Amino acid sequence: MAAILDYQCVLAIRQEGNFARAAATIGISQPALTARIRRLEEELDVRLFERGRHGARLTAAGSAFSEAAERIVSIAEEAESAAKGAERGIGQSVRIGFTQISARTCLLPILHAFRDAHPLVRVQLRETTTVRLEALVAEDRLDVALLHPPVHRDGLAELHLRSCPILQVENDDASDEGRPLVEYPRSDAPVLISEYNRRYPGAQLAPPAAEADTAFGALLLSEAGYGPCVVAEDSWRQVESSNGRFARTLDMEIHTSLVWRNMDRREIVRNLIAVCKRIRRQI
């Protein structure tokens, strides 16, 4: 069975693309690293890396192995951190995911309240998209997440926290009239794009001139003259620029919910959910 150092070796080679640099990153000799990889490949009866003059790259088997290795190393590091923290009197850790939209309106008051109630708990934050957050919670790589429903994965529980209007941001001089919206990748904003297309069919007739994967990026592109953009009111308040811009409220809302695995009965997760339930009327 592979040791934690074996997994770390694979991840280091994946990152560095070179055995010598990977060995230096981990702090072992190159022959020792090479021997570990050779022994691991023999145990698994697969080839993890293709070696060549230009370095090392993962095979298909190596890519699959490295994804699992990343989770194993993360769990091992969390266990080590928890043990050291407990020895120092520091409490458990909780992993919270969030979107850009939820950052200040939901996450910040939750963090304030949770820290007041549980000051010794270590908090780890990760920002990404709703689709990715849902997957990370389902795969036990996050404990909870602030995301935008509907939730599609089985086994997840949901607590609604907040709803906010959707705005269409344009130039005051009507130069945006008739121009296509700055677009979001559907994989990054499926709820927003689907709802907009449903309520305003035919609004996006021409191909988009620009694309952004965050509300901030969409606002920047729009202000630079690439066309109007659609953002949540919360995002507009966070990064609003008043230089010849105005925001029109659409007949749409985006919702923010706290999501967790419904079989997760750990006390620290239940404490965080309880805090969210207590303060959600203030969010």
Provide the token pair at 266.
């750990």
Q: Is the pLDDT of residue 89 over 50?
A: no
Amino acid identity for residue 67 in this structure: E
CB atoms within 10 A of CB 185: 12
Please give the residue that has the higher pLDDT: either 39 or 251: 39
Q: Is the pLDDT of residue 244 over 70?
A: no
Task: Report, as an integer, the average pLDDT of 74-101.
Answer: 78
Q: How far apart are CA 116 and CA 110, in angstroms?
A: 10
pTM above 0.75, yes or no: no
Percent of the chain with pLDDT over 70: 86
Tell which residue, 252, 185, 249, has the closest CA to residue 217: 185
Q: Give 54-80 pLDDT, tens digit per residue.
A: 789 999 999 999 999 999 998 888 888
Provide the token pair at 241.
């620029």
Provide the token pair at 67.
């994804």
Full set of structural domains in the chain with CATH: 4-86 (1.10.10.10), 88-162+256-282 (3.40.190.10), 163-253 (3.40.190.10)
- Residue 281 is given by DSSP the state G
Helix or strand or coil: residue 140? coil
Q: What local confidence, expressed as pLDDT, does residue 242 receive? A: 54
CA atoms within 13 A on the CB side of 67: 6
Please give the residue that has the higher pLDDT: either 221 or 264: 264
Q: What local confidence, expressed as pLDDT, does residue 187 receive? A: 65
Q: Is the pLDDT of residue 243 over 70?
A: no
Q: Give 3-27 pLDDT, tens digit per residue.
A: 889 999 999 999 999 999 999 999 9
Q: Is the pLDDT of residue 228 over 90?
A: no
Q: How far apart are CA 166 and CA 172, in angstroms?
A: 18
Q: What local confidence, expressed as pLDDT, does residue 93 receive? A: 86
Q: Is the pLDDT of residue 132 over 80?
A: yes
Please give the residue that has the higher pLDDT: either 37 or 88: 37
